[in-house]
Structure 1
Amino acid sequence: MMSIIQNIRIYFKEYLADYKKEIVQIFFLLAVGIGISITLPIIVSIFIDSLDNSSYQSDFFISLAGIYLAMLFVKIIVETINSYISERLGWTISNKLRVNLVRHSIDLDFNFHKKYKTGEMIERVDGDVTFLSNFFSMFLVNIIGNSIFVLLIITMFYIKSGLIGICYSIIAIFAYFVFLSLQEKIVKLWTAYREDEAQLYGYIQESISAREDILGIGEKNYFKSLLKKYLHKTKVDFRKAVVISNIPTSGFFALLNVGDLIAIGIGVYLFYKNEMTMGTIYLISTYVGLLNRPFIALRYELENLQKIGASLNRISELFAFQSKISTGNIKLNKEKLSIDVKNVSFSYGDTPVLTDISFQVKQGETIGIVGKTGSGKTTLIKLLAKMYDIETGSILINDKNIKELDVKDFYKHICFISQNSRIFNGTVYENLTCFDSSVSHKEVNDVIEKIGLTDWVASLPEGIHTVINHSMLSAGQEQLLYIGKAFLNEAQLYIFDEVNSKLDEKSEDKIFQALKKLTYDKTVFIIAHKLKLLELVDKVLILENGKIKLYDERKHVSNRIIEGNL
């Protein structure tokens, strides 16, 4: 329980500090609402007790009714405004948390992103945070507000009858004790369920992405059986969490019903002894009914506390991950990059991938990397792009050790384009600029001309402002649009990983022309499985089993040698 409270305290302090005005407004409106809720039954009680008194004129009763209706109207307005402020605050803060979580996740290293599937990350970043929107807006308010409401009603019970006050004091204390004592165990159950749900979504996303391969190898039934296992585990853990969560709830409501019976029974007994008026019995009866509302609200919030605790645990766990990529404080200037790779070796676990790799790249040179599948090509460029830390040896960028470079600054100087193009559900302009509205339309149109998509964009209903998706583009158009982002990048180091591997000859020729313009006078690495793109390179690096087989100028390496290593 203490760990939940500690987590709540941390997130409240960090994310609510800038919204003190809204919090004060919410508490003020809540206090007004509680005050009216306590007062309304008193007005009716006075009305009932005054019926037997002939000294009261009709104007008195009309005034009471008017006051009652006016306060009821104010209560409705107050609660509506409070709901609006709370909902807006909850979504504002949860969006702020979501942005921070996304930024943190993006900054994590490649090992982290290999560990978690896309669907699982979506559930963690969006699902867990969405669940917390109410937590940031109304959780604390409801806990404090309804606790005060309970105390006020019990105080009224003491004023009217000490016996009823004692009875409900015991019920309230016992209810709080039962709920709070079981929180730790129930939070663990909900944490397990949320983890199951994230893994389920991760598996579904992965299966959808690989649907063509799954159907191609005829393993549809195998993937269905795995899906059933994920669903079964999720169902079992959800059922367990719900059942255990409902144990204190069921006991609490049974106790509340006993309290109702005792309160009404004492009221009736005192009425027949002429120690309590009919209006007071109505007041007690109404307060007993009203008491259900804050207890139900508290029960709901305390029940949510279990799920909130689970979500906060998972969010805190994500924030606790730190990138293992080394970073220094050296920043690069906007100048051409030279690269010196010295005796670099790298392995995944116990499996060596690169062994004693050494080569030099002058400023403005284009290097073609060739090798069969598994030769270490992709791993090498990921080391050059600082996606992994080298284990032995060194990589010097303009004579500066890559480990001593500021990692965020370094990423601004490189542009990595792979064969797996990504099209966002947005306009052509938004896809090329990655939603950066500071890029001018002229710059975008210039890029479209360079990548050879002028006619295609002209055919769209709204030109560069046409919303596009994956189904509207051919593989070549999609890849060209993806490469177009590189023209707006202004990087000093470009890395292209098999960008033409899935394209027809016509599309490949367009990409060749686009890369020819883009790579002029830049430091470039091109991984290629076709000879066409290698016409752009100054030197060829051939890898075999993680070692350099050949590194020489392109004009000295025959096509036959290259083809033998594709």
Structure 2
Amino acid sequence: MLISNQNEKWYGLKFLLPYLSEFKLRIVVAFISMIMVAVTTAFFAYMMKPILNNIFVEKDEQMLWIIPLAIILLFMVRGIFRYLSVYIATSIGVDITTILRSKMFYKSINSDYNTLHNITVGDINSNIIQTVLRLRNVIALNIPKLIVSILTIIALIIVILYLNWKLAIYSIFFASIIVFPIKYLGKYVKKHTLNSEKTISALANRINEVFNNIDLVKVYNNTEYEKDVFDKYLDKYSQFQLKLSRYQEVTSPIMEFFVSIAIAWVIYAGGYSVINNEMSAGEFFAFLTALMMLYAPIKIVTKNSIVMNMLDTYIIRIEKILNIKQESSYPNKFNEDIESIEFKNVTLKIDNKIILEDISFKIDKGDSVAFVGKTGAGKSSILSLLFGFREATSGVIFINGEDIKSLDLKTLRDKISYVNQSAGIFNSTIKENILYGSSYNENRYIESKDISHCDFIDEKTNKDDEYVGEGGKKLSGGQRQRIALARALYKNGSLFILDEATSALDANTENNLQDSIEHIMSDVTSIIIAHRLNSIKHCNKVYLLSNGKIIKNGSYENISKDIDFKKNFGILN
């Protein structure tokens, strides 16, 4: 949902209109409630006329009963409609922000691989959580207050015009001068709101980085250093917040000055009219009451008009996520097993740097293929092409004889079981980690755990329902990898990929897992990215990469004797 010019007037509201249109009935009811709040407020001001004239001047005893009861009824009606307007506005705000958060999260995880790597997690996190929360407050609180206040101002102006139009015109002139500083301050509010939101994103990102590397922070004794860095961000954020507060509150003394002039003028001119019998005392005090009651809604309008400039900033940041470039979508659904993979003269360049050069190989059904080489040789880049994360700069990749560029990536990925180095454990139960969104099949679930040697699960207090903590921190490295293997087995893909799945483990743990891996590899087509010889001994095809090129290939038995293989790989054993 793009709007061409982010600097145009009412940019934020124009963005929200399509979302607001989904709640037409609620908006109508809320608006009627707001009108009733404004009308009852204005009517209370007008009631000063009969209160003073009928009760205190004419001493009408009947009115002594009627007017107090009318005031009670008036306040009850206003209270009911105020409640309705606030509750409905809040429900609309909650629903819109729920929709936006869902869209933003999906757009983030479905974004183009290259684009995603240029956005920090802190930025995504703060936009989805904090920026949207502030948007909800604008929709649920600020906009309703603004509308009610505008309607109240209109109603009260009608009252003072009805009571004495000459006095009303002078009063309105003095009060309206406040509009000019509001317009001037708005652009500064927008600027500092954007800076404030960017600083919060940086804070969120720093927190994420620190706790992801907490062992490094502690070993390097950098807790004080990290606190100093964090405090600098906080100081910067505080400065922006103080500036925002200053711009928001500076309108108060300006407004009070001009309102005081208007009230002083009314007291003088109105008093003169009363003395000369041109105006009754009841009319004067009703006029003065209405005028003084204008102060509160005018103040709310001035503050919330400035907040509307903040709304534009929130929308710009939300659109930054909503407009992230998405993964390419191709029409041909891939509904068959992966039986062959062929890279034909494939070259990959990133930022004009050659990552893979003229790569060619073929994998047939049942093959167990290893890609080995030093760090940066291009092994993982082959996987990024196969997953569809990146597109080859030149050459063709065939899956079952079809160009991968013509295939629907989501249905292709459905056929791939994948285990990476980090294991990818989520903060949920063991069972939820193994199933990972798939429906439960008891036999397949038990078999996946057995083959992966997940015996340790039975030792847990809650068995399969044991929560594993953030990143699986309640589990050992070997246990995390076993769960990852069980997950890959449960998915039952026709292509099994291990991307340095055991490189972070000690030799003993790796040896214990190797039997599981070899058992898995014997029944499926598999690709292994590895640094250790022990991980590839069972492979029938081994490709040695160096500087983005395949320099040797063959069976493990043959290639393991090669000098280049020993130089590039054997020394890492």
TM-score, normalization by structure 1: 0.89
Q: How far 1:103 moved relative to its partner?
A: 1.0
SS at structure 2 position matched to 1:356: strand
Q: Is the 8 A contact 1:264 1:284 kept in 2?
A: no
**Aligned residue for 2:409?**
407
- Paired residues of 1:326 and 1:389 also in contact (CA < 8 A): no
Q: Does 1:563 align with 2:560?
A: no
Distance, in Å, in 1 between the alignment partners of 2:572 and 2:395 is 26
Bigger shift: 308-317 or 296-305? 296-305
Is 1:276–2:279 an aligned residue pair? yes
342 and 70 in structure 1: CA distance in 2 versus 1, 3 angstrom threshold? same
Correspondence for 2:159 = 156
Q: Could you tell me how far apart the structure 1 residues matched to 2:339 and 2:276 are?
A: 98
Query: Is 1:31 the counterpart of 2:35 in the alignment?
Result: yes
For 1:308 and 1:531, how far apart are their aligned partners in 2?
Answer: 58
The CA distance in 2 between the partners of 1:357 and 1:421, in whole Å, is 28
DSSP 3-state at the match of 1:132: helix
| Cα distance in structure 2, aligned partners of 1:39 and 1:193 | 42
**Secondary structure at 1:468 match in 2:** coil
Match of 1:425 in 2: 427
SS across alignment from 2:177: helix
Deviation of the 1:291 alpha carbon: 1.4
**1:266 match:** 269
Residues 450-505 of structure 1 deviation map (CA, whole Å, 9 limit, x = unaligned)? 4333442x344443334331342222222222333323434333332111122245
Aligned to 1:387: 389
Q: Which moved more, 1:85-94 or 1:249-258?
A: 249-258
Residues 281, 421 of structure 1: alpha-carbon distance in 2 compared, 3 angstrom cutoff: farther
- Structure 2 Cα separation of the partners of residues 43 and 545 of structure 1: 87
Kindly state the Cα deviation for residue 341 of structure 1 after the two structures are TM-superposed: 0.8
Q: State the 1:220 CA deviation.
A: 6.3
Q: Could you list the per-position Cα deviations for residues 275-300 of structure 1 after superposition, in whole angstroms to 9, with x for gaps in the alignment?
A: 33443343234323321222232223
With over 3 angstroms needed to count, the CA separation of the structure-2 counterparts of 1:222 and 1:68, relative to structure 1, is: closer
Alignment of 1:328-407 (within 5 A): 328-407=330-409
Q: Distance in 2 between matches of 1:218 and 1:246?
A: 43
For 1:51, the equivalent position in structure 2 comes to: 55
Count, aligned residues: 562
Name which of structure 1's ranges 481-490 and 221-230 shifts more when overlaid on structure 2: 221-230
2:69 to 46, 61, 66: 66
Question: How many angstroms apart in 1 are the aligned matches of 2:548 and 2:157?
Answer: 77
Shift of 1:545: 1.9
Query: What is the CA-CA distance between 1:428 and the residue it aligns to?
Result: 2.8
Mapped contact 1:336–1:363 kept (Cα < 8 A): yes
Assess if the C-alpha contact under 8 Å between 1:260 and 1:288 holds in 2: yes
Distance 1:2 1:461, change over 3 A: closer
2:549 counterpart (547, 550, 564): 547
Distance in 2, matches of 1:463 and 1:71, equals: 63
Matched residue, 2:467: 467
Over 3 Å counting, the alpha-carbon distance change for 1:451 and 1:286 in structure 2 is farther
Q: Distance in 2 between matches of 1:3 and 1:422?
A: 42
Residue pair 2:35, 2:148 contacting (<8 A) in 1 also: yes
Q: Does 1:121 align with 2:128?
A: no
CA shift, 1:53, in A, is: 5.2
2:15 paired with 1:11: yes
Partner SS for 2:325: coil
> C-alpha offsets along residues 230-255 of structure 1, whole Å, 9 cap, x if unaligned?
44544454444444455555433432
Give, in angstroms, the shift of residue 552 of structure 1: 1.4
Structure 1 stretch displaced more, 86-95 or 397-406: 397-406
Aligned equivalents of 2:353 and 2:236: distance in 1? 33
In structure 2, the partner of 1:101 is: 104
Name the SS for the 1:387 alignment partner: coil
Q: Could you tell me how far apart the structure 1 residues matched to 2:516 and 2:117 are?
A: 31
Structure 1's 18 and 326: CA in aligned 2 closer, same or farther, altered over 3 A? Answer: closer
Offset at residue 25 of structure 1 (A) = 1.6
Q: Map 1:109-148; keep pairs closer than 5 Å.
A: 109-148=112-151
Measured in 2, the distance between the counterparts of 1:365 and 1:35 equals 79
Q: Distance in 2 between matches of 1:519 and 1:100?
A: 39
- What is the RMSD of the two structures over their aligned residues, measured on CA atoms? 3.0
The alignment status of 1:477 with 2:484, answered yes or no, reads no
1:417-453 per-position Cα deviation (integer Å, ceiling 9, x unaligned) = 32123333333333333356x4356654554344333
Secondary structure at 2:502 match in 1: coil
Name the CA shift for 1:480/1:9 in 2 (closer, same or farther; >3 Å): same
CA distance in 2, matches of 1:267, 1:449: 92
Q: Distance in 2 between matches of 1:487 and 1:329?
A: 28
Match of 1:311 among 295, 314, 328: 314
1:467–1:167 CA distance, 2 compared to 1 (3 A): farther
1:547/1:190 Cα in 2 relative to 1: closer, same or farther (>3 Å)? same
One-letter amino acid of the counterpart of residue 464, structure 2: I
Structure-1 separation of matches of 2:6 and 2:267? 38
Structure 1 gaps of 5+ residues are none
**Corresponding residue of 1:41:** 45
2:484, 2:257 → 1: CA distance?
Answer: 63
1:544 Cα offset (Å): 1.5
SS of alignment partner, residue 3 of structure 1: coil
Distance (whole Å) between structure 2 residues aligned to residue 371 and residue 104 of structure 1? 35
Cα separation, 2, equivalents of 1:171 and 1:406:
66
Aligned: 1:84 with 2:87: yes
Classify 1:345/1:23 alpha carbon distance in 2 versus 1 (closer, same or farther; 3 Å): same
Residue deviations 1:117-149 (CA, integer Å, cap 9, x gap): 211210122221111113334554443332221
Unaligned runs of 5+ in 2: none
Paired residue secondary structure (1:134): helix
- Counterpart amino acid of residue 7 in structure 1: Y
The 8 Å contact of residues 122 and 206 in structure 2, kept in 1 or not, is answered as yes
> In the TM superposition, what are the counterparts of 1:517-532 in structure 2 within 5 Å?
518-532=520-534
C-alpha distance in structure 2 between counterparts of 1:25 and 1:443, whole Å: 53
What CA distance in whole angstroms lies between the structure 2 residues aligned with 1:364 and 1:385?
Answer: 19
Task: Return closer, same or farther for 1:449/1:162 CA change in 2, 3 Å cut-off.
Answer: same
State the TM-score, normalizing by the size of structure 2.
Answer: 0.88
Quick one: structure 1 residues 145 and 244, their matched pair in 2 at CA, closer, same or farther if it must change by over 3 Å? Answer: closer
**Amino acid in structure 2 at the alignment position of 1:258:** I
Deviation at 1:511, TM superposition (A): 3.7
Given that residues 117 and 203 in structure 1 are in contact (C-alpha distance below 8 angstroms), is that contact kept between their aligned partners in structure 2?
A: no
Residue 90 of structure 1: how far off its partner (Å): 0.8
Report deviation, 1:326.
Answer: 4.8
Within 2, Cα distance between the matches of 1:551 and 1:158? Answer: 93
Q: Distance in 2 between matches of 1:421 and 1:263?
A: 76
Q: Distance in 2 between the 1:503 and 1:375 partners?
A: 22
Relative to structure 1, is the Cα distance of residues 401 and 198 closer, same or farther in structure 2, using a 3 angstrom cutoff?
same
User: Partners in 2 of 1:220 and 1:388 — Cα distance?
Assistant: 38
Contact residue 47 and residue 286 of structure 2 kept, 8 A:
no
Name the CA shift for 1:185/1:552 in 2 (closer, same or farther; >3 Å).
same
Q: 2:199 aligns with which of 196, 199, 208?
A: 196
For 2:204 and 2:352, locate their aligned partners in 1 and report how far apart those are by CA, in whole Å.
31
Identity fraction in percent: 22
User: Does residue 504 of structure 2 align to residue 502 of structure 1?
Assistant: yes
Do the aligned partners of 1:326 and 1:404 also contact (CA within 8 Å) in 2? no
Which residue in 2 is equivalent to 1:20?
A: 24
CA distance in 2, matches of 1:523, 1:286: 84
Residue type of the alignment partner of 1:91: V
Q: Distance in 2 between matches of 1:24 and 1:285?
A: 33
For 1:453, the equivalent position in structure 2 comes to 454
CA–CA distance in structure 1, aligned partners of residues 513 and 175 of structure 2: 73
